[in-house]
Amino acid sequence: MNRNNIRTVVFLLMIVAAGTTTLALAQMKPEDAIRARQSIMHVMALNFGPVAGMAQGKVPYNADVVKRNSAFLDNLSRMAWDGFDPSTKDVKSAALPAIYEQQAKFREAAARLENEAHKLWEVAQSGDEAAVKAQIGAVGKSCGGCHESFRQKQ
């Protein structure tokens, strides 16, 4: 590895606590945790956009893209949550205080997205277009349900 890259890796290691092998967002500085969770959410949106368009008939249906993006969403849906660490509470972002005041409800909403995204991945393997489109709607609903209670209106 060259020097520039080693510097990058050293920086990255600062975010990896010894012994942990998760993304470990909760162990970052609050600003870094927020940037991480926002990046993850944004990449989710980038992947959900095209499949949402397919479910609404605004983008031609493409089973391969659904398979790829749903596998991606299945993974991404599990990554961001520990970035909503209480240490980030007082840093300005679109996250509402309700996240920290109603943690059980927030975790439930997060788990709903994880479950719906995982189901979408499963249904995508079947090739049943109608079932896939219905499940894309369910994923969208779980995004919106959580945003409704826990994110500042955009």
Residues at the interface with a copy of itself (CB under 8 A):
1-2, 4-9, 11-13, 15-16, 18-25, 35-36, 38-40, 42-43, 45-50, 52-54, 56, 58-60, 62, 65, 68, 71-72, 75-76, 79, 137, 140-141, 143-145, 147-148, 153-154
Alpha-carbon separation of residue 69 from 8, 75, 124, 132, 146 (angstroms) = 28, 10, 10, 12, 21
The least CB distance from residue 48 to a copy of itself, in Å, is 7
Q: Count CB atoms within 10 A of the CB of residue 100.
A: 15
The least CB distance from residue 141 to a copy of itself, in Å, is 6
Q: Which is nearer to a copy of itself, 64 or 90 (CB)?
A: 64
The least CB distance from residue 11 to a copy of itself, in Å, is 8
In the DSSP assignment, the letter for residue 127 is T
Pairwise CA distance, residues 53 & 18, whole Å? 42
Amino acid at 96: L
